[in-house]
Amino acid sequence: MFRMSETHAARRQYRVGFVADSPNFPAAWNDVVEKVRIADELGFDSVWLGESWGYELFTSLADLVRATQRIKIGAGIANIYSRSPAVLASSAATLDERSGGRFLLGLGPSGANVIEHWHGVRFEKPLQRTREYIEIIRMILRGEKLIYHGTFFKLERGFKLRFTPPRSDLPIYVAAMGPKNIIQTGEIADGVMPIYWPCTKWGDLRALLDEGARKAGRVPHSAMIAPYITTALLPENVSEERRQEARSAAAMPLAYYVGKMGTYYADMLRRNGFEAEVQAIIDGWQKGIKSAIAAVSPRLLDAVALVGTPREVVARLDQWAEWGVDEPLLTMPEGPVDEVAALLQDLKEALV
């Protein structure tokens, strides 16, 4: 087990976690579990899984709970359309009990394509639906009789959860990008989970969260900033050719999110000063994926992704933390388990 010196502990208030696997391009599951076990043994803070149209989320999270001892296990994120608030509340409470109080619940609307054409549910009023889900889940976790009158849910019979969860205040995070959603997150949640938010704009994100906190009578910094960060950890002796390959690989999902995932990410980046870069990527898609990836500028990639050796990544995380990041969530390295173990150990040592 590694320990931070008092000097570095004071400087590094941020807590590093990992996104264990891609929901769209899942790796061999046994390898995913083994990498998570290594992150647990090294003392990293959290590990998260998402979902799309692949593995079922909570079944996979249960595997990670059983395979670990200390690391927090997060749903990042469960969408707010395909499961009822009660199912999400009971799932979260069950995993929190089985993990000894280590579970984190991330929620979000996902997007219209997935919700309507995979789940077959109408995608409407995601902001209001998010609020009602969190309010109902909180009521269930507190052991209250479930009587609720909202826009989407009318619950009259007063059902109560039939066991006592270990934590009535289980942390709830929200995947939010638009200003209204971020402000609401500051009102009602414990953290925000943005994707591809530019590093120079963490202060703007904090201001929106704290505006929501004030509206709800909460203290500033009530909601943590826990961004998903596309990350490529490289060995210390990496060649320049391998470094450039890693940058190109990191640009691929960014180009996809900007050009093929609706307008959410493109609009967010435009609002944050990357209008020309967004348009270049969209224009690049007219010629195909290679042109779209090539259109990702170094300025944009460096603003939203981390590519480098463990020491280089930690140096940038230190800077990002000064700008407002609380809980950076890095991409779990790809590759054989033994190679990943070495990279994670080097990262942990760089954080000390």
Q: Which residues contact 107 (CB under 8 A, 6 or more apart)?
A: 75, 77, 78, 79, 80, 88, 130, 133, 134, 172, 173, 174, 175
pLDDT over 90 at 14, yes or no = yes
Tokens 């307008």: give the residue.
263
Would you say 349 and 310 are in contact if contact means Cβ atoms under 8 Å apart? yes
pLDDT mean over 297-320:
98
For the segment 28-51, the average pLDDT, to the nearest whole number, is 97
Q: Give the pLDDT confidence score for residue 262 in this predicted structure.
A: 82
Contact (CB, 8 A) for 327 and 76: no
Establish how many alpha carbons lie within 13 A of residue 305's alpha carbon, considering only the half-sphere containing its beta carbon.
23
User: Of 208, 199, 234, nearest to 310 (Cα)?
Assistant: 234
Closest to 260 measured CA to CA, from 275, 246, 281 = 281
Indicate if the pLDDT at residue 263 is higher than 60. Answer: yes
Rg from Cα positions in the chain: 20
Give me the helices (H) in the chain, please.
6-11, 29-42, 57-67, 85-98, 112-117, 126-141, 179-188, 202-215, 240-260, 264-271, 275-285, 289-294, 298-304, 310-323, 337-351
The CA-to-CA distance between both ends of the chain, in Å, stands at 11
Fold classified for 6-233+305-351? TIM Barrel (3.20.20)
Q: Would you say residue 1 has pLDDT above 80?
A: no
Q: What is the pLDDT of residue 289?
A: 96
> At what angle are helices 57-67 and 29-42 packed, to 10 degrees?
50
The residues that bridge with 46 in the sheet, in sequence order, are 17, 72
Token digits for 111? 């997007």
Q: What is the pLDDT of residues 130-180, one digit of tens each?
A: 999 999 999 999 999 999 999 999 999 999 999 999 999 999 999 999 999
Give the phi and the psi of residue 323 in degrees, each rounded to 5: -85, -10
Rounded to 10°, the helix 85-98/126-141 angle is 50
CA 352 – CA 70 distance, rounded (Å): 19
Q: Which of 5-9, 123-127, 236-240, 336-340 has the lowest mean pLDDT?
A: 5-9
DSSP label at residue 218: P
What is the average per-residue pLDDT within 273-277?
Answer: 98
Token pair in block for residue 63: 């595997």
What value does the mean pLDDT of the chain take?
95
Name beta bridge partners: 329.
17, 228
pLDDT in tens, 86-113: 999 999 999 999 999 999 999 999 989 8
Residue pair 51/333 in contact (Cβ under 8 Å)? The answer is: no
> How sure is the predictor about 261, in pLDDT bands with cuts at 50, 70 and 90?
confident
What is the three-class DSSP state of 22?
coil
Q: What is the pTM of this model?
A: 0.95
Could you tell me the pLDDT band of residue 8, with boundaries at 50, 70 and 90? very low
Least confident segment among 1-5, 67-71, 257-261: 1-5
Give backbone dihedrals phi and psi of 340, rounded to 5 degrees, phi first. -65, -40
Tens digits of per-residue pLDDT, 311-320?
999 999 999 9
Quick one: pLDDT at residue 11?
53
Amino acid identity of 117?
Answer: H
Closest by alpha carbon to 156, among 164, 147, 165? 147
Report residue 13's pLDDT band, with 50, 70 and 90 as the boundaries.
Answer: confident
Whole-angstrom Cα distance, residue 195 to residue 33? Answer: 24
Q: Report the pLDDT averaged over residues 236-263.
A: 95
Q: For the chain, what percentages of helix, strand and coil (3-state, to nearest 5) are there?
A: 50, 15, 35
Percent of the chain surpassing pLDDT 90: 93
Q: pLDDT tens-digit profile of 182-228?
A: 999 999 999 999 999 999 999 999 999 999 999 999 999 999 999 99
Residue 4 confidence (pLDDT):
39
Q: Give ∠ CA 240-244-250 in degrees, rounded to 5.
A: 145
Q: Comparing 262 with 43, which gets the higher pLDDT?
A: 43
